[in-house]
Amino acid sequence: MITIITLLLIASTVKSLTVEEYLARPVPEYATKLTGQAYVDYVNQHQSFYKAEYSPLVEQYAKAVMRSEFMTKPNQNYVVKDVDLNINLPETFDAREKWPNCTSIRTIRDQSNCGSCWAVSAASVMSDRLCIQSNGTIQSWASDTDILSCCWNCGMGCDGGRPFAAFFFAIDNGVCTGGPFREPNVCKPYAFYPCGRHQNQKYFGPCPKELWPTPKCRKMCQLKYNVAYKDDKIYGNDAYSLPNNETRIMQEIFTNGPVVGSFSVFADFAIYKKGVYVSNGIQQNGAHAVKIIGWGVQDGLKYWLIANSWNNDWGDEGYVRFLRGDNHCGIESRVVTGTMKV
């Protein structure tokens, strides 16, 4: 009886915590050493904002983040002015609903065991905006593999890179067409198979113990694709970053489409399942870049609607609701995007 009462008191205390109180709580030393299901249990017992869940692929997801040194703020010369666009913003917004004919917006990528989130998220936003700017007439995807392997100024390939530099690469060099692993009718599909076992999906093979090596830059298209690499390019028009301003970021997404956001990654991100993610700040693993496609409010908590690139059986069918308005884990201070030539 005493045990039941104690558990009820703990549950009541957890549910009554505000975000501010939760973030201000000291982290016990033992919690920094927890792993696996024990860590998942700790997370679920100490907050009620979201549900954590363990899966065998969690460790692989945690590896597939870029090194923290790529978590840099964009050059201030490219930050757009913090202006009021005089737009009435809705309480909730989902780019998939505003631009339903743009299939790239609602497609969850799988970066496999490569720290290519910076290239995958940038290419995804380029693809979305190319479709949006063409009123749905151009459905081509920008190749994340072309960016990953050929953008020398972007970073270190599968060890991480800068998504902002990817947009300048598209302006200066163009990006050939791409798509998922083994996509036949494009120049350069994604280089790596979705490793591990995923729900209702073909099994290609296990995840490697270490990161995949970065693909070599090959200025040619795959066999049986009848367009030359140099003639298959998608070009960027401009690139810019957004100020650390919640409203301005929302205005940009509402008007022009998804954007790339980068943030510091902690151990609890990989085990997110549903709800509004609020990190406990334990065990920083590196940095991660994602695509922000909208926003909303759940149980009184404001969130960004984010498409991750860890397959659609991670998180909430590939998505995460991420605390909004507090620059949580630095996400609102590192938002970049661009427009495409149509």
Catalytic residue among 113, 308, 311, 312: 308
DSSP sequence for 47-110: --SEEE---TTHHHHHHSSB-GGG--PPPGGGBPP---------SSEEHHHHSTT-TTTTPPPB
Between CA 245 and CA 136 the distance in angstroms is: 29
Would you say 325 and 302 are in contact if contact means Cβ atoms under 8 Å apart? yes
Would you say 248 and 255 are in contact if contact means Cβ atoms under 8 Å apart? no
- Look at strands 301-307 and 335-340 and give their pairing: unpaired
Would you say 196 and 207 are in contact if contact means Cβ atoms under 8 Å apart? yes
b/e sequence 186-197, b meaning 16+ C-beta within 10 Å: bbbbbbbbbbbb
Q: Active-site residue 308, yes or no?
A: yes
Catalytic residue among 102, 117, 187, 221: 117
Between CA 274 and CA 298 the distance in angstroms is: 11
Bridge partners of 262, per DSSP, are: 289
Token duo for residue 231: 């003639």
> What is the Cβ-side half-sphere exposure of residue 47, based on CA atoms within 13 angstroms?
26
Which H helix or E strand runs over 263?
Answer: strand 259-266
Q: At what angle do helices 2-16 and 36-46 cross, to 10 degrees?
A: 70
- Look at strands 319-323 and 259-266 and give their pairing: unpaired
Between CA 150 and CA 300 the distance in angstroms is: 44
Catalytic residue among 102, 158, 176, 288: 288
Catalytic residues: 117, 288, 308
